[in-house]
Structure 1
Amino acid sequence: MADIRAICAIGTSGQLGRHGVLPWEGRPERPFVEDVERFFDITRGHVLVAGPKTIAAVPEFAARDRTLVTIRSSDDPQEVLARFADRVVYIGGGPRVWDVYAGFIRHWDINRVPYDGEADTWFDPAWLLAGGKAPRP
């Protein structure tokens, strides 16, 4: 059975995104750089399942040492996850993906970053409560 996890960074008030990207994208301050480094370190050697925009944002160097899986809204989550039964699978983000996959996620790796600015996408604590409640692939 796959070990299904999620990994994300959120701002101090739960911010996830703004205009389709991380609101702190490209900021040079060390906490933001460390978050990106941490993401690549933790997901190395594992499977990253995410929507097309997230997968397209993974740099070429990072694509070489993790399995990237692009999902679409028409995909059956159980079928997607069943392909990786003996692997650690990270569900990469965004609300539309987590709304569908939250019930399969057994562990959330959430990094708080020191961002307290504008956002149009927020972390939903209900995703945490859904964890492990979907039928296992």
Structure 2
Amino acid sequence: MADVRAICAIGQRGQIGLNGELPWEGNPGREFVADVERFYEVTRGHVMLAGPHTISTLPGFMQFDRTLCPVRSSDRPEEVLARFADRVVYVAGGPAVWEAYAGFIRHWDINRLPYDGPADRWFKPEWLVAAR
């Protein structure tokens, strides 16, 4: 079975999305830039699962140093993860993907950013204790 992990950044109140993007997208602040750089570094060399929209927003260079796997609601998580046995698999979101894969995630890497603005997508703490 794959070593399944999640990586995400959340705002001060659990914000994770706004209008299909990260609420802090493009913020040049040191903490925000460091978070993006760390995301690239941590996922390098591993498998990354995310919804098609999230995958489409990633920079092109990411396809060369990690395995990008877009997943859909019709995919069975057990079958997707079975394709990557003995690999580290990062579940990178969005919310529907975390909802489907939460019970398989053994490690959550969550970075809380100094963002406290609007959002239309929120991190759900119950994902942390979901069981399969």
TM-score, normalising length from structure 2? Answer: 0.97
Q: CA deviation at 1:57?
A: 1.2
Q: CA deviation at 1:58?
A: 1.3
Q: CA deviation at 1:63?
A: 1.5
Match in the other structure for 1:38 = 38
Cα distance in 2 for residues equivalent to 1:85 and 1:29:
38
Q: How does 1:16-35 map to 2 (within 5 A)?
A: 16-35=16-35
**CA distances 1:31-79 after superposition (whole Å, capped 9, x unpaired):** 1000100100000000001110111111111211000001111111100
Which amino acid in the other structure matches residue 97 of structure 1?
V
Match in the other structure for 2:62 = 62
Q: CA deviation at 1:93?
A: 0.9
Cα distance in 2 for residues equivalent to 1:34 and 1:63:
21
Q: Number of aligned residue pairs: give it.
A: 132
Match in the other structure for 1:95 = 95
**Which runs of 5 or more residues in structure 2 are unaligned?**
none
Which amino acid in the other structure matches residue 56 of structure 2?
A
**Which runs of 5 or more residues in structure 1 are unaligned?**
none
Which amino acid in the other structure matches residue 11 of structure 1?
G
Cα distance in 1 for residues equivalent to 2:102 and 2:73:
14
Q: CA deviation at 1:117?
A: 0.5
Cα distance in 2 for residues equivalent to 1:63 and 1:113:
26
Cα distance in 1 for residues equivalent to 2:63 and 2:112:
25
Q: CA deviation at 1:104?
A: 0.4
Cα distance in 2 for residues equivalent to 1:21 and 1:85:
30
Cα distance in 2 for residues equivalent to 1:26 and 1:37:
13
Within the alignment, does 1:110 sit opposite 2:110 as a pair? yes
**CA RMSD of superposed structures (Å):** 0.7
Cα distance in 1 for residues equivalent to 2:69 and 2:96:
16
Q: How does 1:46-57 map to 2 (within 5 A)?
A: 46-57=46-57
State the 4+ residue runs in structure 1 displaced beyond 3 angstroms.
none
Cα distance in 1 for residues equivalent to 2:95 and 2:49:
14
TM-score, normalising length from structure 1? Answer: 0.94
Greater Cα offset, 36-45 or 94-103: 94-103
Task: Please state whether the residue corresponding to 1:19 is helix, strand or coil.
Answer: coil
